[in-house]
Structure 1
Amino acid sequence: MILGKCPYCDGSVIARKFETQGKKIKLYTCENAHKQYDESEAFVFTAESTCTFRVYSNAFLKWNKRSFSQYEMKKLLQDGQTTIRLHGRKGTGEYFKYVIPDKEYGVSILWEEDVPKEGEEELIS
């Protein structure tokens, strides 16, 4: 399934399902980003790869977000950013943050930016 245009090249970003360590996850990847195992069993980009955009759906598991959805990925590709809901360590308390594409990690959370709450307007100073 094509989700949108890659933020780094004109390729299409596609969603692929696979299973690792008994868990089903999705990989959102540019059609121009190809990886394979090399002789040392490391998963590396091939010589034919012209892009490196790849995001795993469990990228935010550390912040108690089980999955980065296809809808969120589509929004990220369309708008250049998206808002995600994260949870505190014990699963209590939720907060929202912006996510943007990142060359090295696929996506990054903008920790310094606060997402205005529903109905809250920005104050003009």
Structure 2
Amino acid sequence: MILGKCPYCNGKVIAIKTTAHGKKVNLYTCENAKKEYDESESFVFTADSTCTFRVYSNVFLKWNKRSFSKYEMKKLLEEDQVIVRLHGRRGTSEYFKYVITDKEYGISILWDEEVSKKEEEEFLISS
């Protein structure tokens, strides 16, 4: 499934079902970001890779968000940022943060930027 254009090379970002640490997840990857196992069993980019954009759907598990959805990735690629709902350690508190693409990590949370109450309400209505 094609989700949009890569923010770095304008290639197609696709969703691939894969397994990471024994769990089934979606991998959102640029078609030009190819990886393989090398002789030391490390997962490395191939010699013909021209991009490094890759994001696993379970990227926010640390903040009790089970999955970064295809819809959220598509919106991020279209609008350069997306709002996500995260949860505290015990899952009782919730908070909203902006997510942007990041050259090194794929995506990053903007911890210092506050999402307005109006945007939170719009997010809750649309989800």
TM range, normalised to the smaller chain? Answer: over 0.9
Q: Supply the AA of the counterpart residue of 1:27.
A: L
Aligned residue number for residue 116 of structure 2: 116
Instruction: Describe the superposition over 1:4-52 as per-residue Cα deviations: whole angstroms up to 9, x where unpaired.
Output: 0000011000000012343210000000000000000000000000000
Q: Identity percentage over the alignment?
A: 75
Q: How many angstroms does 1:117 deviate by?
A: 1.4
**Going by fraction, where is helix more abundant, 1 or 2?**
2
Aligned residues: 120
Aligned residue number for residue 28 of structure 1: 28
Structure-2 separation of matches of 1:64 and 1:3: 24
SS in 2 for 1:36: strand
CA RMSD of aligned residues (A): 1.2
Give the TM-score of the pair, scaled to structure 1.
0.92
Structure-1 separation of matches of 2:20 and 2:34: 18
Structure-1 separation of matches of 2:119 and 2:99: 21
Q: Supply the AA of the counterpart residue of 1:70.
A: K
Q: How many angstroms does 1:119 deviate by?
A: 6.8
Give the TM-score of the pair, scaled to structure 2.
0.91
Aligned residue number for residue 70 of structure 1: 70
Q: Which runs of 5+ in 1 are unaligned?
A: 121-125
Instruction: Describe the superposition over 1:52-97 as per-residue Cα deviations: whole angstroms up to 9, x where unpaired.
Output: 0000000000000000000100010000000000000000010000
Q: Supply the AA of the counterpart residue of 2:53.
A: F
Aligned residue number for residue 123 of structure 1: none
Within-5 A mapping of 1:1-125:
1-118=1-118
Q: Which runs of 5+ in 2 are unaligned?
A: 121-127
SS in 1 for 2:76: helix
**Displaced runs of 4 or more, over 3 A:** none
